[in-house]
Chain A
Amino acid sequence: MSANHDDHHHAPDGHGRALRLGIGGPVGSGKTALVAALCRSLGPSLRLGVVTNDIYTTEDADFLRRAGVIDAERILAVQTGCCPHTAIRDDIAANIDAVETLEERFGPLDLVIVESGGDNLTATFSRGLADRQIFVLDVSGGDKVPRKGGPGVTTADLLVVNKTDLAPMVGADLTVMSRDAAKVRDGKPVLFTSIREDKGAHSVAEWVVGIVDAWHHEHAHSV
């Protein structure tokens, strides 16, 4: 993964580089499916890169490569030494290295998605790594999860509640989830998805296009 880039680091303030979008959430909530869906929806119009933080193997990266939604070489996998939250919050060095490697190999890029390893409700991305972040829950984790809050649920720029198709089967009340999420999120957006039914996660993709446009606008003079 080595790249000759030690002397052209991108400015920490974001000028001249892609928007970095973190996607976090508990194990099995659909983070990788969401990344694949976003690649499907956004690939034709945006220049993308993806970094995965697999817990054990390169399974998530392999899934994305097999899905064929993005060129295989535009996906890099980072290992996290048993601690996925450390790699996205406390010691982001390996992730930054992967992001910058992608930008140097394929840049300029519009969007680099960093998918965290599946973790718990307290895992959020450092601002040093992600400019914006999405937290992904699923209805089968229980409709009490939004009420329980935690930094992922309360502070993420977008909360996605996935697998709504399963709600009747697991007895999850989407109205309760929606009301509780609104209460703890202070007006920040929440989107309900069923990526199994909507392979492009179109509502989420639309939100991402909005933040990428805003980012370009904000940093327009140097991109």
Chain B
Amino acid sequence: MHGDMAMLLLADSRLPAGGHAHSGGAEEAVRVGAITGPEDLARFLRGRLATAGVVTAALAAAACEVGARPAPERWQRLDAEADCRISAPAQREASRTQGRLLVRTTRRIWPSEALDSLALAVPDGAHHPVALGAAAAAAGCEPRQAALAAAYTSVTAPATAAVRLLGLDPVLVHRLLADLAPALNDAAHEACVIQADDWSDLPAHAAPALDLLAEQHLRTEVRLFVS
């Protein structure tokens, strides 16, 4: 019951953990002309949810389980699973930065052994979904709620960035997000089917276009977003 409230807080773009400065590849996609309007954006979001969204949801769900029985070795192993599922170095760095900021913020909101042990086990910053799952556990969420929050933020960040960068109608973009509800549920479901600690079977969907966008973005001179 506390889990619902915590999930809302964790998924809220107003959570002060640095998420507002990440576009999930949308800024570069806008720059190269891959997103020019609502139709492109809808396809981008659907693709992102089906790939990076599912992977991040699965990692968050697994991290939420670890958070219930935290141990340094388990955090390090799960973080390594995240590492090998994020191919682009630019994305890895962005993910670790977001994870570090999220742990810092949520440790003050939900002081807990889960987050303390993660901060000690991965001191330079755990990957964002691992940090999100740990925070979800600290806040009283179930793995499914952690997965939902992770999948949800994987599409809201680029959607908001596209509104800012292209001046799209924000109501129309929210309709696009609402249309993703069934896909979001599917992603959370897929994220939670893996047996505890058998992490080699966690989803590892690749999104080469997102990888390339992330790498190009890092080399673009004029950037408003970190990623």
Residues on A close to B: CB < 8 A? 1-7, 9, 55-57, 78-83, 86-87, 90-94, 96-97
Contact = CB atoms under 8 A, between A and B. Distances in A.
A56 B16 CA distance: 21
Given A9-B104, A57-B223, A82-B164, 18 more contacts: A2-B93, A2-B100, A2-B125, A6-B104, A6-B120, A56-B224, A79-B226, A82-B224, A83-B20, A87-B20, A87-B21, A90-B14, A91-B15, A91-B16, A91-B18, A91-B20, A93-B104, A97-B104
A96 B14 CA distance: 16
A97 B18 contact: yes
- Among A1, A3, A57, A93, residue most surrounded by chain B Cβ atoms (within 10 Å): A93
Nearest to A5: B123
B165 interface: yes
A94 to B, nearest CB: 5
Interface string B19-47: 11111000000000000000000000000
Given A3-B124, A7-B119, A81 B100 contact: no
A96 B20 CA distance: 15
B161 A81 contact: yes
Interface string B107-141: 00000000000011001110000000000000000
Interface of A is mostly: loop
Contact of B164 (A1, A81, A90, A97): A81
Given A4-B124, A93-B16, A97-B104, A56 B165 contact: no
Nearest to A3: B124
B17 A91 contact: yes
6 contacts: A2-B96, A78-B21, A79-B224, A81-B21, A81-B225, A83-B20
A96 B104 contact: yes
Contacts of B15: 91
- Among A9, A81, A90, A91, residue most surrounded by chain B Cβ atoms (within 10 Å): A81
Nearest to A2: B124
Nearest to A82: B164
B105 interface: yes
